[in-house]
Amino acid sequence: MARNCAAAVVRYRQRHRDCYRDCTPRCFREGIGMSDVLIIAHAERAEALAASKRLVAWLEGKGHAVEMGSVEATAIGRPELGVDEPIRAVPDLAVSIGGDGTMLRSFDLVAAAGVPVLGVNVGHLGYLTEFEPAQLTDMVAAALGGSLDVSERMMVSARVRDTGAHDVGAQDSETWTGLNEVVLEKRDPGHTVRLEVWLDGDVFATYAADGLIVSTPTGSTAYSLSAGGAVVAPTHSSLQVTPVAPHMLFDRSLLLPPDTEIGIRVISERPALAAVDGRSAGLLATGDELVVTRAPYDARFITAGGDSFHRVLKHKFGLKDR
C-alpha cells in the first residue's frame, strides 16, 4: 500500500498536486507500513553519520528500502545507497539527521512531493528538529507504523523578474522555494540598498536599509528574529516583511496575509543579492524585481504532538519564568 501511495505521487505530481498532498497523510492516518526511506544527514558531523549508519542497519533489518545522499552514503561505507540530487524517486519518509540547516536542505529536496520529514537533532539549537538521537529508531518505527502526526507549515517562493536591462545571476523563469525566508540585501559593504516594495500590485514604501527579509512563520525565529521581527507560531499562515538595519523612520516588521504578492524592486545604483534559506538566488541590478509569494505546497513535519509552540520556544531559547 505504501508503495502504491508513492506510485500515485509519481504518476500525478506534475498534473495534479492535490493527489500527493492527500496521499501521503492518508498513509499515516491509516497506519500503513512504509518501505522507502530517504536519509539526509549532515556529512561533516560524526554523530550524524554514526546515527545514519545505525538507522540504515535497522531499516534494512526490517526489510525497508533505504537511500541517502551520495556524500553521506560514501562516508558511512555504503556508496551503493547514494542517490544524486535532486531526488528523482519519491520516498515515503525522509529522515533528517543534523541541525536546522539539514532540515532546510531536506525540505528543499522533498517538500514539493509532499514527503513528510522526521527531524533528529545533532546540531546546536535544533529549533526545527523535534527528536534526539536516542529516540531515532523508536520514532522512525512509530512514523512507519502510522502512530505519529504530520504538521503542515507554509513555505515561501521567490522568482526574479528580470527587466532585461542588466545581466543578473538568476533566470527569469526560475522559482526558488524555502521554509524560512527570502532575503534581498546589499552586496557592497558600507552602503545601503534602496528597495521599492509593492503589495498586491500597489506601491507600499521605499526602504533604505541593509536588506529586507520576507519570512514564513517558521522562519520568524531565524534571521527575521535577529533583525527585530515578531515571533509567529509556526502553524500560522502569514508573510512577514522585516527590514535589516533600516535608515528610515518606519523600521517595523509588517505582518501580511499569506496570499499577499510581495514585489521588491532594486532602485539604487548598487546591486542587491537574493537568497532563499541561505541559498543564493542571484544578483539583482537596478530595476530588477524579486516577486515573493506563498509556495504552492507546504512543508510536512513528523511530530509526536506533545509540546505546544510556546513550550518549545521557551525550551530552545532558554527562557526563564523569572
pTM: 0.85
Active site annotation includes 100: yes
Cβ-proximal residues to 245 (8 Å cutoff; 6+ apart), any chain: 192, 209, 210, 211, 227
Name the phi and psi angles at 162, rounded to 5.
-85, 125
Q: Mind listing the pLDDT tens digit for each residue in 44-60?
A: 999 999 999 999 999 99
What does the pLDDT read at residue 164? 57
| CA angle 217–243–313, rounded 5-degree value | 35
What does the pLDDT read at residue 228? 95
More confident residue, 126 or 263: 263
Tell me the CA distances in angstroms from 186 to 23, 251, 269, 275, one per residue in order. 42, 17, 11, 11
Residue 152 in this model has a pLDDT that exceeds 90 = yes
- Of all helices (H) and strands (E), which one includes residue 203? strand 202-209
Beta strands 202-209 and 254-256 are unpaired
Domain layout of the chain by residue ranges:
2-148+304-316, 155-296
What does the pLDDT read at residue 13? 36
What does the pLDDT read at residue 315? 78
Does the 2-148+304-316 domain belong in CATH 3.40.50.10330? Answer: yes
What does the pLDDT read at residue 7? 35
2.60.200.30, 2.40.37.10, 1.10.10.10, 3.40.50.1370: which CATH number matches 155-296?
A: 2.60.200.30
* Number of residues written out for the chain: 322
Name the phi and psi angles at 241, rounded to 5.
-100, 120
What does the pLDDT read at residue 172? 53
Q: Mind listing the pLDDT tens digit for each residue in 244-299?
A: 999 998 889 999 999 999 999 999 999 999 999 999 999 999 999 999 999 999 99
d(CA 295, CA 9): 18
More confident residue, 34 or 192: 192
- Range of weakest confidence among 27-31, 32-36, 73-77, 91-95: 27-31
Residue 257: is the preceding peptide bond cis (ω within 30°)? no
What does the pLDDT read at residue 116? 97
Cβ-proximal residues to 192 (8 Å cutoff; 6+ apart), any chain: 186, 208, 209, 210, 245, 247, 268
Say which of 36, 92, 100, 162 is annotated catalytic: 100
Among 300, 317, 148, 141, smallest CA distance to 234 is for: 300
d(CA 122, CA 263): 37
- Of all helices (H) and strands (E), which one includes residue 73? helix 70-75
> Over the chain, what is the mean pLDDT?
86
What does the pLDDT read at residue 23? 45
